[in-house]
């Protein structure tokens, strides 16, 4: 399926805010909305965003309807997620992907939103954006300038060149690799296996990141991806941030040992240290666009995600 890039934003455009997973912190969300307004955008907030249903932002039907409403609303040019959390996969099967295919627009988020990145891209071809969210990142008082600057790529087509000027990078397997970037949160990628929305890594660069998972859990998930052939199919591996993934027990392999083990098993060009995921700063990138990984120069070049 050919990649479909959404149209760029211009000042004065309206963007919609949704919470497809957990309820956002409302104070942080308000600061995030102010950030969007300061970019010259108008903001339309989904009706369910302030709802609380346990660890969900309202009932499944409410969150589903919000996605459909904002994608069909001709006034809304982008759909920005307030936060991640839990529960996005619960609504994936009910989403009208034909509706999204007929109304392509910017879609932005990460973490639990990984499930929607995967389903939307594989069902519609739409390029989506893996980037910091309004309440969980941008609305925090210590939000990094680089996290905020990532939103500028929605206004002007920009080629991202990621080098060690942004963060230290470590080569695990040498080589050159090119392909569409796919992936996101490791836990969510594993949860797609065996479903109609199973992550397709064939000929692609696979990005992985996670948070609050001990090395033994990361080991289990990476092993499952490995046995499912997802590393074999990929052209290269991008290892993002694994935040608070330290062992809680004395008898444990380190996270570095676990990741290195599977990178070497995969034997595909692999680099770790990308500030992508549950980190500050969080460098936003489009998913579903072509990118080139050059381990010899420790460089990742990512095509623009907009028209």
DSSP sequence for 143-202: --HHHHHGGGGGTS---EEE-TTTS--EEEE--EEEEEEEEEEHHHHHHTTTSTT----T
Q: Does residue 7 belong to any structural domain of this protein?
A: no
pLDDT at 106 > cutoff 80? yes
Residues 6+ apart with CB under 8 A from 256: none
3-state secondary structure of 16: strand
**176-220 pLDDT, tens per residue?**
999 999 999 999 999 999 999 999 999 999 999 999 999 999 999
Query: Would residue 94 count as lying in a domain?
Result: yes
Distance CA 87, CA 35 (A): 26
Within-domain flag for 307: no
Same domain, 150 and 187: no
State the pLDDT confidence band at 249, using cuts at 50, 70 and 90: confident
Assigned token pair, 59: 């009932």
Residue where a domain terminates, one of 106, 131, 154: 154
For residue 28, tell me if it sits in a domain.
Answer: yes
Residue at which a domain ends, from 89, 122, 154: 154
Do residues 254 and 214 touch, judged by C-beta distance below 8 A? no
Q: Within this chain, do residues 130 and 202 fall inside the same structural domain, yes or no?
A: no
- Is 3 a member of any domain? no
Residue 229 banded pLDDT, cuts 50, 70, 90: very high
Question: What does the angle CA 193 – CA 107 – CA 192 come to, to the nearest 5 degrees?
Answer: 5
Q: What is the CATH number of the domain that holds 217?
A: 3.50.30.60
Task: Give the catalytic positions in this structure.
Answer: 111, 209, 278
pLDDT digits (tens, 9 = 90+) for 127-172: 999 999 999 999 999 999 999 999 999 999 999 999 999 999 999 9
Q: What does R_g of the chain's alpha carbons equal in angstroms?
A: 18
Q: Give the end of a domain, one of 121, 154, 187.
A: 154
Residue 143, CA distances (Å) to 25, 140, 147, 280, 295 in order = 15, 5, 7, 7, 29
pLDDT reported for residue 112: 98
d(C-alpha 38, C-alpha 32), whole Å: 10
Q: Is residue 1 part of a domain?
A: no
260: domain range? 160-302
Evaluate whether residue 231 is within a structural domain: yes
Q: What is the pTM of this model?
A: 0.96
Segment (H or E) for 238: strand 236-243
Q: Are residues 73 and 119 in the same domain?
A: yes
What is residue 2's predicted lDDT score, i.e. its pLDDT? 86
Number of domains in the chain: 2
Quick one: pLDDT at residue 220? 98
Q: Kindly state whether residues 112 and 183 are assigned to the same domain.
A: no
Residue 6: inside a domain, yes or no?
no
Whats the size of the chain, residue-wise? 307
Shared domain for 64 and 193, answered yes or no, is no
């Amino acid at each position: 399926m050919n990649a479909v890039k959404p149209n760029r934003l211009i000042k004065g455009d309206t963007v919609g805010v949704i919470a497809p997973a957990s309820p956002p912190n409302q104070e942080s969300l308000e600061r995030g909305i102010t950030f969007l307004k300061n970019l010259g955008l108008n903001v339309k907030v989904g009706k369910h965003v302030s709802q609380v249903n346990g660890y969900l932002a309202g009932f499944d039907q409410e969150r589903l309807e919000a996605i459909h409403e904002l994608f069909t609303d001709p006034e809304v040019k982008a759909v920005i997620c307030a936060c991640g959390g839990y529960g996005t996969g619960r609504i994936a099967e009910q989403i009208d992907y034909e509706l999204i295919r007929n109304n392509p627009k910017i879609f932005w988020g990460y973490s639990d939103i990984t499930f929607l990145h995967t389903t939307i891209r594989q069902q519609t071809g739409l390029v989506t954006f893996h980037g910091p969210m309004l309440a969980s990142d941008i609305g925090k008082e210590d939000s990094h300038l680089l996290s905020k600057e990532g939103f500028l790529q929605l206004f002007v087509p920009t080629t991202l060149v990621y080098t060690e000027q942004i963060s230290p990078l470590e080569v695990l397997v040498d080589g050159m690799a090119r392909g569409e970037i796919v992936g996101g949160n490791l836990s969510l990628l594993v949860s797609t296996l065996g479903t109609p929305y199973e992550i397709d890594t064939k000929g692609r660069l696979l990005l992985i990141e996670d948070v609050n998972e001990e090395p033994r859990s990361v080991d289990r998930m990476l092993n499952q991806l490995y046995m499912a052939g997802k590393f074999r199919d990929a052209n290269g591996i991008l290892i993002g941030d694994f935040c608070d993934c330290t062992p809680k027990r004395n008898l444990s392999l380190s996270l570095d040992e676990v990741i290195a083990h599977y990178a070497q098993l995969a034997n595909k060009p692999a680099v770790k240290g990308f500030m992508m995921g549950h980190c500050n700063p969080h460098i936003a990138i489009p998913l579903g666009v072509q990118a080139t990984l050059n381990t010899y120069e420790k460089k990742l070049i990512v095509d623009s995600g907009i028209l």
